[in-house]
Amino acid sequence: MRLFAVKVFFLSFFLAIIARLFYWQVINAPFLQSQAEKQYFTDTRLGAVRGNILFSDGSILASSNPSFSLYGLPKTVSKEEKTILAYILAKVLQEDDVDNVAKEILDKLSQDLYWVLLKKTVTVEQKKKIEQLNLIGIGFNAESSRFYPEGSSSAHLLGFVGSDAKGENTGYFGLEGYYDGELKGISGLLRHERDASGLPILIGNFLTNQANNGKDLILNIDSSVQFIAEKTLKEGILRYGAKSGLVVIMDPKTGGILAQASFPNYDPQNFPNFPKELYKNPVVADQYEPGSTFKVLVMSGALNEGLIKPDTQCDICSGPIQLGGFSIRTWNNKYFPQTSMKDVIIHSDNIGMVFIGQKLGLDKFYSYLENFGFGKPTEVDLQGESAPEVRPKKEWREIDLATTSFGQGIAVTPIQMVRAVSSIANGGNLMEPHVVKKIKDGSRVFEVKPKIVRQVIKDSTAKVITEMMVKAVEEGEANWARPKGFKIAGKTGTAQIPVAGHYDPNKTIASFVGFAPADNPKFVMLVKYDQPSTSIYGSETAAPTFFEIAKQLFTYYKIAPSE
Amino acid sequence: MTIIKKFDPEEPKKGFSKKYISLLSSFLFALILVEIWTNNNVVVYGEKFEKLSQLAKQLNLENQILENQIAKYTSLGSIASKSAQLGFSTPESIQYIR
């Protein structure tokens, strides 16, 4: 009996061992295997480098700069050492305000944590200095920050790179936002076996999932044109005391954006130090009433329909007109009875435009608005584009048709306006605007081809309206500023700003839109000032800036005067 | 009396000859030496590999810094301010020759 009990005891004992072994080796095997792998495998994240943004000539507009994040290991340092460590680090990291920075670092090191981030962007020089000090309780992680060699140039165009909710680098606004997926790339993973001292074992298991670096963007933006536009606009804003200003320059044949400048702007490298209102790109996000610059589009619609000719006479232009309880006047209260359509553009005659609007009628007028691309986004490759709505056709009254004919009571974006005028410059084709010309992924290059959205007006109409715009420059209010000998087509615009239900006569948006050389346009340009204080008129503010930029572009493009 | 011996052909020797055994032993010995040498070197190469990998990283990093410095110094803004300091200015008037 005793022998039986001993046998049962041993049998139970072995069964228990077998059960336990079964648990460890079969049921819990995956967990244990992963635990073991953690001990002898090292995982290294292979960060993808964000793609570069390059001007059309290949020079760098945005690239990645190596940087490091500095972390602390509070549990490995004594209280006294933490104070000394904080002051030494503050001295290296910040030349001014050392006390405050040291206090911040000390506060972080005093937390009851094993690991704490002390500073996110540490430069290579700062890292070298810190490493030479042989400090304990700190370490570095490799990071990458954005670098903009042109400083705040093209800030609105570029956007910036910030952190998302997970702390990952993400592009916001402009190109950084629109092309974030292409620019950021895909991180990889390197897994290798290590020996007792942590060094890799060459014949051990090795697994690599290579990082795919971000793609490079090659822009249509020409660095010289961009520089000219920015410099001249900055000077213009100061000279005319404007609240803000912008310039867009586009190639009418391809829809490629050659330059875009806007002020006030921000430094994309230090974007958190600037008000958030400055982040959005006014070229694609701001809405404004185009004023008289809109007249060329309405005129081209009426010419295209054959409803008027350049010498058609206006029979309502002898004085102010009354419509729907409103009195409509010309901008300078001067009237030209039986004026021709050509002179309507030269004198920027509001009554003449009402005449044209009435000739067109609401249905055709509305269809031209849609065909010129108003009311819809232009699909430009920049994040944050807005598209002001055009009032539904059934809500239009007679007065709305009349005021919209001379560019008031309708909101557009600068990019919509420059694209619409581009269609006059290129013979009637509405183009899709593009900032990016090519996307480069290693050796593969994807080209963004010019895209014609639709033909809005006939080539013959485009030629007629171009001649009228040339006359407007040569004989209009802004002719004093134009460069002599060059054939430039253009139109000034002065739109009062609607404030609390009425137009403020002293606050205007002054603009000038045009293209040159008129016979074979190399560029279309819009210059717009918000609330210029030296003069409220586009002919005295935006037009001289337009001509100043055009003059420099003629030299740059080696275009000689035609006369 | 003539003693006639029965002719028995010589039986081939079973197993390897001494020659083959010594060759095999030498080969195995060489293999052992190679294994010892490899094992020793693997440890050293691991360290060398790590050093080379660090060096490659460092060189890539320095390359990137240099590229960025070149971009900074050749930016139009930088060139414009330096040229202004040197006394260059934009042309006042341009003569066109036909």
Please name the residues in contact with A208: beta carbons below 8 A apart, sequence gap of 6 or more.
A188, A189, A190, A191
Query: What are the structure tokens assigned to A252, written together?
Result: 């009418």
Q: What is the mean pLDDT of residues A15-42?
A: 83
Q: In this predicted model, which residue has the larger pLDDT, A413 or A205?
A: A413
- For Cα atoms A524, A160, A214, give the angle at the middle one, nearest 5 degrees: 95
CB contact, 8 Å: B64 with chain A? Answer: yes
CB contact, 8 Å: B65 with chain A? Answer: yes
Query: What are the structure tokens assigned to A262, written together?
Result: 């806007």
CATH 3.30.70.2110 in chain A: give the residue spans.
67-148
pLDDT tens for each residue of A165-193: 777 788 999 999 999 999 988 887 777 67
Q: Please check the confidence at residue A203 and state whether its pLDDT lies above 70.
A: no
Query: What percentage of residues in chain A have a pLDDT greater than 90?
Result: 55
Q: Please check the confidence at residue A194 and state whether its pLDDT lies above 80.
A: no
* Partner-chain contact A195 B46, CB within 8 Å: yes
* Helix (H), strand (E) at residue A550: helix A542-556
Residue A186, pLDDT score: 86
Residue with tokens 């490493």: A131
Please name the residues in contact with A343: beta carbons below 8 A apart, sequence gap of 6 or more.
A336, A349, A352
List Cα–Cα distances, A408 to A3, A196, A228, A330, A405, in angstroms.
111, 78, 31, 13, 8
Sign of the CA dihedral with B65 first, then B71, B73, and B78 last: negative
Q: What is the mean pLDDT of residues A418-435?
A: 96
pLDDT category at B5 given cuts 50, 70, 90 is low
pLDDT tens for each residue of A225-266: 999 999 999 999 999 999 999 999 999 999 999 999 999 999
Cα A60 from Cα B65, distance rounded (Å): 13
CB contact, 8 Å: B4 with chain A? Answer: no
Q: Which range has the top average pLDDT, A110-114, A126-130, A451-455, B65-69? A: A451-455
| Residue A137 identity | G
CB contact, 8 Å: A153 with chain B? Answer: yes
Q: Which CATH class is domain A67-148?
A: alpha beta
Cα A482 from Cα A263, distance rounded (Å): 24
Residue A320, pLDDT score: 86
The CB density around residue A56, as the number of other CB atoms within 10 Å, is 18
Q: What is the mean pLDDT of residues A548-553?
A: 95
* Partner-chain contact A202 B72, CB within 8 Å: no
The CB density around residue A503, as the number of other CB atoms within 10 Å, is 13
Q: Please check the confidence at residue A411 and state whether its pLDDT lies above 70.
A: yes
Residue B24, min C-alpha distance to chain A (Å): 27
Cα A280 from Cα A414, distance rounded (Å): 13
List Cα–Cα distances, A458 to A81, A430, A464, A489, in angstroms.
80, 11, 10, 18
Mean model confidence pLDDT for chain A: 89
Q: Note whether A529 and A563 are within 8 A (CB).
A: no
Residue A101, pLDDT score: 87
pTM of the model: 0.81
Q: Please check the confidence at residue A282 and state whether its pLDDT lies above 70.
A: yes
Residue with tokens 């960060």: A47
Query: Which range has the worst mean pLDDT, A19-28, A40-49, A259-268?
Result: A40-49
CB contact, 8 Å: A560 with chain B? Answer: yes
Query: Which range has the worst mean pLDDT, A34-43, A304-313, A434-443, B36-45?
Result: A34-43
Residue B91, pLDDT score: 77
Interface test with A, best of B54, B75, B89 (most A CBs within 10 A): B75
Q: Distance between alpha carbon B65 and the CA centroid of its chain, in Å?
A: 26
Cα A527 from Cα A231, distance rounded (Å): 13
- Regarding beta strands A452-455 and A257-263, do their DSSP bridges make them parallel or antiparallel, or are they unpaired? unpaired
Q: Note whether A52 and B56 are within 8 A (CB).
A: no
Q: Please check the confidence at residue A372 and state whether its pLDDT lies above 90.
A: yes
Residue A164, min C-alpha distance to chain B (Å): 25
* CATH topology assigned to domain A223-238+247-556: Beta-lactamase (3.40.710)
pLDDT category at A207 given cuts 50, 70, 90 is low
Residue A442, pLDDT score: 85
| Residue A320 identity | P
Query: What percentage of residues in chain A have a pLDDT greater than 70?
Result: 96
Residue A255, pLDDT score: 96
Residue B11, pLDDT score: 66
* Partner-chain contact B46 A201, CB within 8 Å: yes
Q: Please check the confidence at residue A281 and state whether its pLDDT lies above 80.
A: yes
Pick the closest to residue A206 from A185, A192, A220, A188 (CA basis).
Answer: A192
Query: What are the structure tokens assigned to A24, written together?
Result: 């460890």
pLDDT tens for each residue of A116-128: 888 878 888 888 8
Query: Which range has the worst mean pLDDT, A109-118, A173-182, A272-281, A506-515?
Result: A109-118
List Cα–Cα distances, B3 to A162, A281, B6, B8, B36, in angstroms.
112, 124, 9, 15, 63
CATH 3.40.710.10 in chain A: give the residue spans.
223-238+247-556
Contacts of A552 in chain B (CB under 8 A): 90
The DSSP line for A102-115 is HHHHHHHHTSS-S-
Task: State ipTM.
Answer: 0.70
Cα A389 from Cα B27, distance rounded (Å): 88
